[in-house]
Structure 1
Amino acid sequence: MKQKHTLLLLCSFLITSFLMAQSGKISGVITTSDGKPAPYITVAIRGTQQTSLSNEEGYYEIKNIKPGNWTLSVSAAEAAPQERAIVIAKGAMLTEHFVIKETARELDAVFVNARKSTEHASVSLRLKTSLLETPQNIQVVDQAALAQQQVISMSDGLVRNVSGATRVEHWGDLYANITARGSQIQAFRNGFNVVASYWGPLTEDMSFVDRVEFVKGPAGFMLANGDPSGLYNIVTKKPTGITKGEVNLTLGSFDLYRAGLDLDGSLSKDKKLLYRLNIAAQNRGSHRNFEYNNRYIIAPVISYQLDEKTKVTLEYNGQFAKMTEVGSYYIFSRSGYGTYPRNLTFTNPGLPPTRINDQSGYLTFEHAFNPNWKLTAQGSYFRYNQAGMSSWPSLMDSVTGHLIRNIGLWDAKSNMALGQVFLNGEFRTGTVRHRILAGVDAADKKYYADWGQSHDLDTLGALFDPENPGYGVPDNGYPVFDRSKPLEERAIAAGGIQTQRYSSIYVQDELAFFRERLRLTLAGRYTDVSQIYGTGTDFSKARHFTPRAGLSYSIDQTLSVYGLYDQAFIPQTGVLTNGGKLKPVTGNNMELGIKKNWFHNRWMTTLSVYRILKQNELTADPQSDPGAPTSIVLGEKVARGVELDIRGTILPGFTAMANYAFTEGLITKVAPGAAGLYTVGQIVPGYARHTSNAWFSYELQTGALQGLGLSGGVTSLIGRYTGWSIEGQQLPDYLKLDGGLFYTRDRYRFTLNVFNILDSYLYTGSYYEMPSIYGDWSQASLKPAYYYQTEPPRNIRFSVSYRF
């Protein structure tokens, strides 16, 4: 028996030796253009699963290659790929060296860019601690997700990538209005709070966006004053130091035509002067008749490396839009939600377009004193101009649902000057590591709007019939508005002034103990803010200190648990019915979570539970004089929930994103002045109790169809409450299914997606008491009106991109 085993082993050895003698081997060294070893470069035999990764010395080796003609491929993240034809003879040992065009410094930047979405926040979030060790739920949507899902603006389904994030009311593609944890979250761009009014800013076009960071809950390290539910931070594209470019074309349903160009490179031989230029243009129609949204975008960036420690970056973002009037997306019904065809519109051809110019400029100075200390100073100026109109019915027949369409003037402008200086540092006291963040923020924001003029398109004798709409010349003609006076003067008369000035100082220390496994964050921000609202007579001022304390513990290098207490506050304007001093809204956030990176950081998971308590919020006093309205203190609200985020690579070529959120918003205390109007336990509208999303993608790694992929996703909203009112019907559950194909070959990528595959009638909306009649105007009274916005039926989008 023993002899048989020995004989079998000998035969196996001889057969294996014979097969290995018939196969070949290839090896070599990969270097950068400046002669340095190039580590972590992928070398593959195309059409097979045989790959190798170069080591720290740039050496690679692939064994057991079948004899024949093959193509050897060399690639790394964003680095330019190379291919070379090779011939493997029986038993051959081939040597092939490669020189990539990137320098060692540029290659390092490539790997930093490739890792930053999963490991670190952007510079504009100010944090030096990795996302795994940061005691807060922070989610990042990167370029790969944006391209695969064909997201072209902030309102284009991007929120599916983040647990609990929804758009309660879409506002078309004008404003993002994203909600999470029970309230609308703040909009940031490159670390600046760009909220000048409730309605802004204009949705960012993805042509100049590198990534979007969602920070859940209060964020004292960024937020001076704002809603404690959180923020999203748009990080714009910057020069990488790698000479490359990309052009892309997109076609889609409802007359979508779009083109974009992304150029990245150096303007000097020493590569100290770098540039990035993104331009895009689109014509975009809608599933609703006569609705359109046309834009062009230009976003140049220049950076200059003064020396190894100092860099200056100058950036401009310009978005120029021409679209139908604000509110053209809404449908109004006396019977309920979703009662009319999806393509119905209440706008009218012949109305002039609304034009919006959204421009911003940034100047950033970065100086590293040494590897442990860095100073960042940046200033920004935002200028927003809107010349247009808004639409909203002025009267509805309570029996037939026929109505008078009203067009209101909406000219607006916003000027914002913002500045930040912050210092990141690290030092030790004994065995304790300190990571310091200290800085000052300041802003001066002015928003002026004239919505004081309006015009009815229809008359009592010729109401608009949604069931048999007519779109000829309106019975009452087209509006002619008076714009002879300066906008600032008109805004005073219309009550359309919103200004805010604030300054704040912030200090944070992250203390790390026990070989940095336990991290204690202690921080505080002091903010001084004043604002004017309405006609310019409503003035408020507040000074407030907001503390922050966080604890994070690394169970191992891939698993951490954390706890957080943080505060935020929102200044308020108005007049109290019973007099007295206004207090700011305060928000207290308590959060617990666990973060885990799996399989060498290929999977990332975050599970968090939170409770946000908001106090002192004002609400309108319904018993006050309509000519001089006053406010009362509501009491106390709570938002609480659970959030789970999962994303990463399951298998080679198979990536997945999935998230779930349970959200609940309730009134927990009612102030004496609000008794009878509100009750404890009453729902705070504007969220879905259960929000679920998923997106999966698989790309074939070998064979004749290598590069072909399949992707798809689903969004589910269960237990939806209306946007603003707790009255009326609760919205039905929401289910949307999307999917498509893509193909990557050499420098080309083709993407085809079908959205709303099930062709479901999807919408969001709320309840409104509209002036209504039955017979004549003297019978007018407030009656229920349901308003909603429909989403497109089944539609397709095709994109082709070429990288060079």
Structure 2
Amino acid sequence: MIDFDLLPKFLKTGFLFILLSFFTNLYANAQEFAYLDENVGNGSIKGSITSTDGNPVGFVNVYIKGTNKGAITTEDGKFYIKNIKEGSYTLIASFMGLQAQEITVSVTNNESSLADFTLPKNSQQLNEVMVTATRSKNKTPVTIGKIAISPLDLPQSVTIVNSQVIADQQASKLSDVIRNVNGVSLGTTRGTTSETFFARGYNLGANNIMKNGARVNSGAIPEASTLEKVEVLKGSAALLYGNVSGGAVINMVTKQPKFEYGGEVSLRAGSYNLWKPIADVYGPISKNLAFRVIGTYESAESYRKSVESKRLYVNPSLLYKLGAKTEILVQGDYLKADLTPDFGIGTLDSKIPTSVSRSSFFNAPWAYNEIEQRTASININHQLSNSWKLSVMGSNQSFDRNYFSTERIQADADGDWGRKLTRSKIAEDYYTGQVNLTGSFNTGAFEHKLLVGTDAERYLNTSNAFNIASLGLGGVYDSINILNPIKFIARTDEPLATNTTRTEAPTYRFGTYVQDLIKISEKFKVLAGLRWSYQKTVAAKTYDVATDAQTPNPTAADRYDRAFSPRVGIVYQPVSNTAFFASYSNNFTPNTGRDVFNENLAPSIIDQYEVGIKNDFFNDKLSANFTLYHIINNNLAQQAQFLADGVTVNTDANIKELTGQTTSDGAELDLSGNITQGLNFLAGYSYNFMRYTKTSSENGSYLEGERLVSNPAHTANATLFYTLQNTALKGLKVGVSGFYTGERNAGWNTQHVVTRNPDNTVTRTLNKRLVPVTSFTTLDLSLGYNIKQFTILGKISNITNELNYYVHENYSVNPIPPRQFVTTVSFRF
């Protein structure tokens, strides 16, 4: 159970508020149930809402003027309002960003009156209106859910960061977007060559990052400036995606073609010679075929000396309408990114050397990290009938990294550091496919929203080992001193590195799943589902590059994992804009990689419990959600610290170990809204306590009860943008954003060490290797102006020039960016 003594006082109060609200609503509805007989014989209103091009419009608010009766249209644009007394009523259809429409309807006892609306825009324009108006997050279905269910009906926490927020904050990297999602914190990787995130205590690796619903590699920093939105499904998503951790799933949604001509060109410039032109062009090729091409190039230096980056990104797509019921969407993108590997200021005697300048750089001048990533996908959506839809998706991604750099800044107490080198070349190849059937039907008085699907993946990892020439004793390249740069003469030559072996490690995954959202009554809904997963992890094969002969590995064997992953949740909606929910899910997570003996790892089993409340206020202009969760992982897999000899430090992220049972407890508070026209805000707070709760008593086991490294206890975010509407300064935009990351530990968690003495006695000690990192807050201030087709927007980030660090283990210590300026000038056509 959750230890509430560990929660802040106001979160305890929030939990009590949930309970009080629950029983208050229960009492109020008990009164209603007592008079159900009065509704016998009453009439009802049903109808549909379409756009001017005849397409159904889902998730529109429809209500009877002067009453509390209403409904929200389903995905196919239909609505149904029951238990209405006989008489004449005004029915209102309200869609964010559009003027409400009214029609008069007469209701007769024991009959259903018909009422249909046509909204004065086509479906593509309505999508634009929805984004501009920032529709309630609780009413905006997420594609990551594979079926269009309103988040208000989903017993799980969901966050959406739309294109307006991405543009207002001038986000370029995925981390710029994700910091708006409470409970998801940014970490770093070896040499800051990519970004990594932690959610509910879990590291979100490649298995938890999606693009348009397909798994993608996380080794490159994704281009975020051109995204339509980013969806985050918190907690377990095993039923939908199989091999994912218990923290969250992130889905990046790219922009799609339109059947109208338009586009935007912009130039972004800023501190440290940042230059970034962006172009976005779309339109029809023919009556049934539309295109979109988005591209950007970025060149930048850094507040870190000698660090620079160059990025090229292109995202073309085609949308073909094959008749009235079938759409085919073809998308692709290409990313080429060159980034200087940077281990930051490192550690000094296992401590952060705060006396070392934020700009100090200790890598070799020739170090490089070169990445190429290509993705292609095809989505086919076919409307079988008004109630049933078939979706088919196939995708491929190839990823190549070419890397040569110094390694692990771990200096002695006097600042001396013997620099070692790492040369690697990695290729990853993904093939994924999905087939999903979704539909709505009734069984008696129960309404169903059904998802039946299957998915398959083929993943191949190819890594190359190198022999590096001209190194000194112990493989040392040279020695430098991080406190006194002139103490040694640093080498500047790039040693010859010869490719010696190639290792191939394929993995095959298959899953099939069924999920049903059952509407038992207007107030109670049940979501239940089950997934069967299969994974084959093939024993890695190593080849000699010169002869292409396979190196014998008699101990390695293929591994086969199979498991069922159930999910069940209940939603209670006392009124149309409030939902209480509780859920349980079981997550079967096959662990990729291998142990120190080159054996495949056993899977981890994760149980998650979640309760919460979701609210929409002021006619959907304010959303306020609160969640509590409890997650148990029976055996957490992490990168092994040492190789089989127990001495050699492991630098291979694919060599892992199972470390014991962990428990993660926490709470999340989300606020977002569009209170008045031109005012958009979102805010959140999260608390997490993830620790080891059951470990082996053998040598090397972790200390139980200690918070896991890299996980802050508290995170918070708040963003507000306001555009003046009706003054002489109409078009002026002002924004402020604040982001808080609480205290956390880097390094490694404390381990028990058992030493057998010569006299056969045993000495037990604790190996403490935590690196404490303090909390920090950054504030950004934005100011912009929009006139007709032109927009200019400027931002000063980290205006207080806060200094803190992102730390990977105890050797990659990277200072956060200082105060910087960036501005974007755009022209829409």
TM range (shorter): 0.7 to 0.9
Matches within 5 A, 1:755-774: 755-766=797-808, 768=810
Q: Deviations over 1:141-185 (max 9, x none)?
A: 110111111101213x22221111111226677422111100112
Query: Hey, what's the Cα distance between the residues in 1 that align with 2:421 and 2:773?
Result: 28
Query: Hey, what's the Cα distance between the residues in 2 that align with 1:382 and 1:546?
Result: 27
8 Å contact from structure 1 (residues 126, 221) kept in 2: no
Aligned to 2:693: 668
Report the alpha carbon displacement of residue 129 of structure 1 after superposing the two structures with TM. 1.2
Q: Deviations over 1:11-52 (max 9, x none)?
A: xxxxxxxxxxxxxxxxxxxxx99999x9xxxxxxxxxxxxxx
Aligned to 1:680: 704
Whichever residue aligns with residue 734 of structure 1, its letter is F
In structure 2, do the counterparts of structure 1 residues 796 and 724 end up closer, same or farther at CA, with 3 Å as the change threshold?
farther
Q: Which moved more, 1:567-576 or 1:413-422?
A: 567-576
In structure 2, do the counterparts of structure 1 residues 345 and 627 end up closer, same or farther at CA, with 3 Å as the change threshold?
closer
Q: Please, which of 192, 213, 216 is the counterpart of residue 191 of structure 1? A: 213
Q: Deviations over 1:256-283 (max 9, x none)?
A: 1001011121111x2x101111011110
In angstroms, what is the RMSD of aligned CA positions?
Answer: 3.4
Report the alpha carbon displacement of residue 597 of structure 1 after superposing the two structures with TM. 1.2
In structure 2, do the counterparts of structure 1 residues 728 and 618 end up closer, same or farther at CA, with 3 Å as the change threshold?
closer
Matches within 5 A, 1:242-641: 242-268=260-286, 270=287, 272-325=288-341, 327-329=342-344, 331-334=346-349, 336-337=351-352, 338-349=354-365, 351=366, 353-393=368-408, 396=411, 398-454=412-468, 463-469=479-485, 474-475=490-491, 477-483=493-499, 490-492=501-503, 497-515=504-522, 517-532=523-538, 537=556, 539-572=558-591, 583-618=602-637, 625-626=645-646, 634-641=659-666
Query: Hey, what's the Cα distance between the residues in 2 that align with 1:455 and 1:792?
Result: 36
Query: Hey, what's the Cα distance between the residues in 1 that align with 2:563 and 2:508?
Result: 14
Aligned to 1:692: 716
Q: Quick check: which has more Rg, 1 or 2?
A: 1
In structure 2, do the counterparts of structure 1 residues 273 and 649 end up closer, same or farther at CA, with 3 Å as the change threshold?
same
Q: Does 1:648 align with 2:686?
A: no
Q: Does 1:160 align with 2:199?
A: no
Whichever residue aligns with residue 369 of structure 1, its letter is L
Report the alpha carbon displacement of residue 122 of structure 1 after superposing the two structures with TM. 3.7
Aligned to 1:121: 141
8 Å contact from structure 2 (residues 157, 234) kept in 1: yes
Whichever residue aligns with residue 446 of structure 1, its letter is L
Whichever residue aligns with residue 463 of structure 1, its letter is S
Q: Deviations over 1:63-103 (max 9, x none)?
A: xxxxxxxxxxxxx9999xxxxxxxxxxxxxxxxxxxxxx96
Report the alpha carbon displacement of residue 707 of structure 1 after superposing the two structures with TM. 1.2
Q: Does 1:151 align with 2:177?
A: no
* SS of corresponding position for 1:463: strand
Report the alpha carbon displacement of residue 319 of structure 1 after superposing the two structures with TM. 0.6
Whichever residue aligns with residue 701 of structure 1, its letter is Q
Structure 1: gaps of 5 or more residues: 1-31, 39-75, 80-101, 769-785
Report the alpha carbon displacement of residue 735 of structure 1 after superposing the two structures with TM. 1.4
- Aligned residues, how many? 679
In structure 2, do the counterparts of structure 1 residues 534 and 330 end up closer, same or farther at CA, with 3 Å as the change threshold?
farther
Q: Please, which of 208, 226, 229 is the counterpart of residue 211 of structure 1? A: 229
Report the alpha carbon displacement of residue 572 of structure 1 after superposing the two structures with TM. 3.4
Q: Deviations over 1:708-761 (max 9, x none)?
A: 121111111223222644523311111111112111111111111111111111
Report the alpha carbon displacement of residue 223 of structure 1 after superposing the two structures with TM. 1.7
Aligned to 2:92: none
8 Å contact from structure 1 (residues 356, 384) kept in 2: yes
Query: Hey, what's the Cα distance between the residues in 1 that align with 2:727 and 2:174?
Result: 37
Percent identity, please. 24
TM-score normalised by the chain length of structure 2: 0.76
* SS of corresponding position for 1:289: coil
8 Å contact from structure 1 (residues 389, 410) kept in 2: yes
Query: Hey, what's the Cα distance between the residues in 1 that align with 2:395 and 2:580?
Result: 36
In structure 2, do the counterparts of structure 1 residues 573 and 241 end up closer, same or farther at CA, with 3 Å as the change threshold?
closer
8 Å contact from structure 1 (residues 220, 524) kept in 2: no
TM-score normalised by the chain length of structure 1: 0.78
Q: Which moved more, 1:298-307 or 1:679-688?
A: 679-688
In structure 2, do the counterparts of structure 1 residues 451 and 693 end up closer, same or farther at CA, with 3 Å as the change threshold?
farther
Whichever residue aligns with residue 436 of structure 1, its letter is L
Whichever residue aligns with residue 482 of structure 2, its letter is P
Query: Hey, what's the Cα distance between the residues in 1 that align with 2:809 and 2:199?
Result: 21
* SS of corresponding position for 2:301: coil
Whichever residue aligns with residue 817 of structure 2, its letter is P
Query: Hey, what's the Cα distance between the residues in 2 that align with 1:733 and 1:300?
Result: 41
* SS of corresponding position for 1:222: helix
Q: Which moved more, 1:359-368 or 1:241-250?
A: 241-250
In structure 2, do the counterparts of structure 1 residues 710 and 538 end up closer, same or farther at CA, with 3 Å as the change threshold?
farther
Query: Hey, what's the Cα distance between the residues in 2 that align with 1:383 and 1:710?
Result: 41
8 Å contact from structure 2 (residues 343, 813) kept in 1: no
8 Å contact from structure 1 (residues 407, 457) kept in 2: no
8 Å contact from structure 1 (residues 181, 641) kept in 2: yes
8 Å contact from structure 1 (residues 455, 479) kept in 2: yes
8 Å contact from structure 2 (residues 440, 449) kept in 1: yes
Q: Deviations over 1:461-512 (max 9, x none)?
A: 96212234369994373222124x6xxxx233xxxx5432100001111111
* SS of corresponding position for 1:354: strand
In structure 2, do the counterparts of structure 1 residues 146 and 170 end up closer, same or farther at CA, with 3 Å as the change threshold?
farther
Whichever residue aligns with residue 433 of structure 1, its letter is E
* SS of corresponding position for 2:743: strand
* SS of corresponding position for 1:132: helix
Query: Hey, what's the Cα distance between the residues in 2 that align with 1:436 and 1:346?
Result: 56
Report the alpha carbon displacement of residue 348 of structure 1 after superposing the two structures with TM. 2.9
Q: Does 1:131 align with 2:151?
A: yes
In structure 2, do the counterparts of structure 1 residues 576 and 257 end up closer, same or farther at CA, with 3 Å as the change threshold?
closer
In structure 2, do the counterparts of structure 1 residues 615 and 708 end up closer, same or farther at CA, with 3 Å as the change threshold?
same
Report the alpha carbon displacement of residue 532 of structure 1 after superposing the two structures with TM. 4.0
8 Å contact from structure 2 (residues 349, 410) kept in 1: no
Whichever residue aligns with residue 761 of structure 1, its letter is L
Query: Hey, what's the Cα distance between the residues in 2 that align with 1:352 and 1:582?
Result: 33
Query: Hey, what's the Cα distance between the residues in 1 that align with 2:399 and 2:600?
Result: 33
Query: Hey, what's the Cα distance between the residues in 1 that align with 2:726 and 2:408?
Result: 59
Query: Hey, what's the Cα distance between the residues in 1 that align with 2:487 and 2:334?
Result: 34
Report the alpha carbon displacement of residue 581 of structure 1 after superposing the two structures with TM. 10
Aligned to 2:15: none
Query: Hey, what's the Cα distance between the residues in 1 that align with 2:478 and 2:600?
Result: 50
Aligned to 1:802: 827
